[in-house]
Amino acid sequence: MSRAQTLVLALLALHMLLGGLCVAISRGEHKSRALRWWGLGLLVYALALLFTMGAVFLPRAVALTLGNTAVAFSSALCILGVLAHTPSRLNRVAVGMALGATAAVLASANVTGYHTLVVNMGVPTLVASVLFLYGAWAIAARGPRDARAASQFLAGILVLAVATWLGRIFAMIVALDGTSDADRVDLIVSLFAIGQMVNGVAATLALVWIDVRLMQSELSRVAHTDALTGLANRREVRRRFQEEASRAARHGQRFALLLLDVDHFKQVNDQYGHAVGDTVLQGIANLLNASKRNEDVLGRIGGEEFLVLLAQQTREGAVEAADRLRQALRGVDLEAGPEGLRMTLSGGVALYPDDGAHWDPLFAAADRRLYAAKRAGRDRIEASG
């Protein structure tokens, strides 16, 4: 077995290993369309190498036609995996027609013997190059924001793969120009196999990198977001509070912590059920989010309680801002229940640093004033006492 055959066999084994691993990962708890399609593409490419190496009991012309058609097909499968992370899609009809034309040209060349080597290398390479360049553009320009570095890296590897294929064709044409130097051809094939192994591993790792970054982003979102309303949860609100407190301390500014509670919310759950109650909370969250300033932070910290960090506010300004939020809900028909519901809010305001320079004293002050508003008849804001 020559050096080139050994390395091509290693290339085949590597693609089988990577392809099987990608498919296995994609079928586990983490369902990844990208890894599933990419893995299938690698497995089909490994199968294509079996045919082109003559490892199947078929006439050589048939084996070469099937093998090189499979090379082009494997590229389409791999790019489906890349595009799974983008809004771009392949035109299935156009790809099908291209693969059909590829098979026809390969069959004609292999049966007639007309420029067999050039056609077997050039035609599938042309199809694969177009697909890979399209995939590189799509993942670079339209890949996920949370995995920009990984997407750019993958795009670069796809372009490098195309350069490797075109370089092989050029090298083969130069090597065979008027000569039959077997050693030179063996070296070119060997170097190409090594390049393919590097590109295959790098691209697979890039796809895994993208998936890991997306999972990290999702875990972070779940950890810091209220599942019902999509607002910041208590953990995220406290983190944002620390940021706001540090900024205010540096610049000698004030900000306010506003604690809001939906009045008589228990009656909604008791009368209409928790599903309607959830719809009410979502409606209130959307209304408050639309009514607050962009620089303010709104979160749901539990049950029917919402918290707003009012940036750069005096006590009077904070009370006015809180009352605007209260008035925004008052009199609005929420699309919940058989007839729609009208809800009101009670709130308590605490000012940094007047009422405390840390979370616990400020939250306690706002909570105390919230319950004072409840005792005073609800649907009001309290900022002292």
The residue that leads in pLDDT, 317 or 118, is 317
The DSSP annotation for 213-239 comes to HHHHHHHHHHHHB-TTT-SB-HHHHHH
Give the pair of three-digit tokens for residue 293: 């300033």
Confidence of residue 174 (pLDDT cuts 50, 70, 90): confident
Span 335-363, mean pLDDT? 89
- Contact call for residues 215 and 144 (beta carbons, < 8 A): no
Distances (CA, A) of 284 to 40, 231, 255, 305, 318: 47, 11, 23, 11, 20
Closest Cα to residue 359, out of 272, 241, 248, 260? 241
The pLDDT, as a whole number, for residue 189 is: 80
Structure tokens given for 72: 């082009």
pLDDT of residue 30: 72
pLDDT score of 28: 72
pLDDT higher than 90, residue 186: no
Name residue 145's amino acid: R
Tell me how many degrees the CA angle 236-240-245 measures, rounded to the nearest 5: 150
Give residue 172's pLDDT band: very low, low, confident or very high (50, 70, 90): confident
Residue 117 has a pLDDT of 77
349 neighbors 383 (Cβ within 8 angstroms): yes
Mean pLDDT of 59-88: 95
CA end-to-end span of the chain: 90
Query: What domains can you pick out in the chain, each with its CATH number?
Result: 3-223 (1.20.1070), 234-382 (3.30.70.270)
What's the whole-number average pLDDT of the chain? Answer: 91
For the cut 60, the answer to whether the pLDDT of residue 180 exceeds it is no
Place of tokens 């920009």: 148
Which among 174, 203, 200, 199 has a CA at the least distance from the CA of 188?
174
| Residue that is written with structure tokens 């027609």 in the block | 97
From 304, 305, 335, 339, active-site residue: 304
CA atoms within 13 A on the CB side of 341: 23
Report how far residue 81's alpha carbon sits from residue 74's, in angstroms, rounded to the nearest whole number: 11
What pLDDT is stored for residue 338 in this prediction?
Answer: 62
Lowest mean pLDDT among 117-126, 141-150, 258-267: 117-126
- Label residue 342 by pLDDT band (50, 70, 90): confident
As a whole number of angstroms, the distance between CA 343 and CA 150 comes to 47
- pLDDT at 182 exceeding the cut of 70: no
Q: pLDDT of 289-329, one tens digit each? A: 999 999 999 999 999 999 999 999 999 999 999 999 999 99
C-alpha to C-alpha distance for 267 and 304, rounded to whole angstroms: 12
- Location of structure tokens 């791999």: 78
Amino acid 294: pLDDT: 93
Fill in the DSSP letter of residue 377: T
CA 72 to centroid of chain Cα atoms: 27
- Which residues, including other chains, have CB under 8 Å from residue 279's CB and lie 6 or more apart? 334, 335, 336
Element (H, E) at 305: strand 305-310
Distance CA 352, CA 248 (A): 8
3-62 residue pLDDT tens: 878 888 899 999 999 999 999 998 877 789 999 999 999 999 999 999 988 767 889 899
What pLDDT, on a 0 to 100 scale, did the predictor assign at position 129?
A: 96
Position with higher pLDDT, 119 vs 114: 119
Where residue 178 falls among pLDDT bands split at 50, 70, 90?
low
In angstroms, the CA 283 to CA 206 distance is 41
Supply the pTM of this predicted model. Answer: 0.77
pLDDT value of residue 179: 54
Active site includes 244?
Answer: no
Three-state secondary structure call for residue 351: strand
CA-closest candidate to residue 187, choices 15, 49, 7: 7
